Amino acid sequence: MDKINVGWIGTGVMGRWMAFHLLPLAKNMFVYNRTLSKCDDLVKEGAIALNSPMEIGQKSEIVFTMVGHPQDVQEVYFGKEGLFAKAKKGTLFVDMTTTKPSLAKEIYAQAKQIDCDFLDAPVSGGDVGAREARLSIMVGGDDSTYNKVLPYFEKMGKSIALQGPAGAGQHTKMANQIVIAGTMIGVSEALLYAKRANLDGNTMVQTIAKGAAACWTLDNLAPRVLKGDFNPGFMIDHFVKDMKIALEESESMGIKLPGLALVRELYQVLVEQGSGKLGTQALVLALEKLT
């Protein structure tokens, strides 16, 4: 595969690792983050920091975005100094943010109007998955575009699949977040129960993680809780955003998700207490306050 100029926007907890894995595939890598100092590690490895998404789009043949919220995605693509302001014909855009399926469809439509291509490709796996290049990547868009981007996805993840047309990647990520919400409250309640029953938490987790209760959350986040480590692999603020999108989408489809609604309510308590920057494993703190 010939090397081309690669653009990357969003160098946060996960984005900086994902961009790092793509450096070997890039002729030049151009990076941007609202806080430019967060690009420093990549610049030290040879990336070139630019001052706006528009500049990234002008210099790159393929651009990846990994930002925070739907409004951030909207600004990065449609803003006055956004990617579409002076996009070159033939540029390929890939949004790896978790955002609204409807926004993914809007970006796809606009990209086609200016003779560009677009994929929505949200990911799951947290900071560990990003650092170790074993993310799950859920893609929406055209087959031909997906095949062009697949070598880049393979540098970042282990489970990669085209889910359907534009927006399908985001819908799949919503399903993923619904499952995570359910497992998170289950694991948190189990840890609280074990503590009150005077069990050794580590022994308990190691034992049940080998049976029917086995899940990513037990393996990766329960040990952090037992150490009192609530630093973010994935921030509560972002998870609350995701759950809000999933609940809005489910309502538009005429379905009720009471379990998801309950978990979001518990997380919202933590947000209101100023704990939104903690990792999602901090749900156990909200449960402790109920007892």
Catalytic residue numbers?
173
Alpha-carbon distance of 291 to 289, in angstroms, equals 6
Q: Is 198 helix (H, G, I), strand (E, B) or coil?
A: coil
Triad 206, 207, 211: Cα angle to 5°: 115
Residue 84 to residues 35, 70, 118, 146, Cα–Cα distance (Å): 21, 16, 12, 20
Q: Is 106 helix (H, G, I), strand (E, B) or coil?
A: helix
Question: 11 and 39 in contact (C-beta within 8 Å)?
Answer: yes
Q: What residues contact residue 91 under an 8 Å CB cut-off, 6+ apart?
A: 57, 60, 61, 62, 63, 116, 117
Alpha-carbon distance of 107 to 211, in angstroms, equals 43
Token digits of residue 192: 């609280």
Alpha-carbon distance of 3 to 125, in angstroms, equals 27
Strands (E), the chain: 4-9, 26-32, 48-49, 62-65, 92-95, 117-120, 123-124, 135-140, 157-164
